Amino acid sequence: MFEKRELVLTAKMLRKNPLSIVGSIIVVAFLATAIVSALGGSKVTPYDPFRINLDEMTQAPSKEHLFGTDQLGRDILSRLIFGVPEDLEIAVVIVAVSIFIGLLLGAVAGYHGRRIDEILMRTTDLFFAFPTVVLALAVSMALGPGVVNLTIALIIVWWPVYARIARAESISVTEKPYVEAARAAGLSSWQIIGTHVVPNIISPLLIYATLDLGMVIIYASVLSYLGLGVQPPYPEFGRMVYEGQTLLRCAWWVSIIPGVILFIVVVGFSLLGDALRDTLDPRMRKFIK
């Protein structure tokens, strides 16, 4: 009964926030497009996303090609639809693995404290000492181009923030009476961490992940733009922006439209993440009846 009341309260708060509705619509549309495209491939796109047609090079947006065509006559809308699953898959893998690593290390460090906590904090400080995009670029260049190497590079630079969040939440949970009771009952440290600490600190990580997915997509697109991620002829936001940058004066849509779609997707995840964070804030919930 309590859980049902909490869900109703959460839904009510989301409905009262217009920006959360906008964010939800954008995210749902993005996810739906990714699922449909992943299942149907080129069968669900208006045109073959890889078909080169030199007779239709750089055609402006029209009824036949809603987003126009690129320098090789390929339909931009079809390429965007086909590339969405790749962007989503990269972002989900990076965030999921980063959550796993950060949750494990942060929970252990927060629970045990002292030397383990000090090691984690100093390690994350090393990562935070460099701009994320610069560090990701350096690691990607060291590993070489490709989707797998891009994913590994971003995981390497992405987990520390989740470790910091998990560590802070773990310290708070460790002081709770039920953890003290578990210690008194003779449970091992790993049992307490697995049954009492992790379940109570994962929610903030998941909320942050919703906000973070958009940022991961941006960073992945930046690396692809620089030639270190998705390789041609496969479409991807950053790669498509790069391919059309020399045509800005005569065929702006080749580069601008993928960039605008990327911007909208990131804004959608940001709005939804902000709304979820505010909705689950106890200080905000007490004002909703």
pLDDT tens, per residue, the chain with 289 residues: 334 555 555 566 666 777 788 888 999 999 999 999 999 988 999 999 999 999 999 999 999 999 999 999 999 999 999 999 999 999 999 999 999 999 999 999 988 888 888 988 899 988 988 888 889 999 999 999 999 999 999 999 999 999 999 999 898 888 888 888 888 888 888 888 888 888 888 888 888 888 889 899 999 999 999 999 988 889 999 999 999 998 988 999 999 999 999 999 999 998 888 777 766 655 544 444 4
Residue count of the chain, please give it: 289
Cα distance between residue 89 and residue 269, in whole Å: 15
Cβ of 232: how many Cβ atoms within 10 Å?
A: 11
Looking at residue 131, its pLDDT comes to 87
Residue 222 · residue 284 · CB < 8 Å: no
The total number of structural domains that make up the chain:
1
**Which residue segment(s) compose the domain that 89 sits in?**
2-285
In one letter, which amino acid is 4?
K
Exposure string for 10-19, b = 16+ CB within 10 A, e = fewer: eeebbeebee
CATH for 209: 1.10.3720.10
Chain centre to alpha carbon of residue 282:
25
Amino acid identity at 288: I
- Please give the model's pTM, rounded to 2 decimal places: 0.87
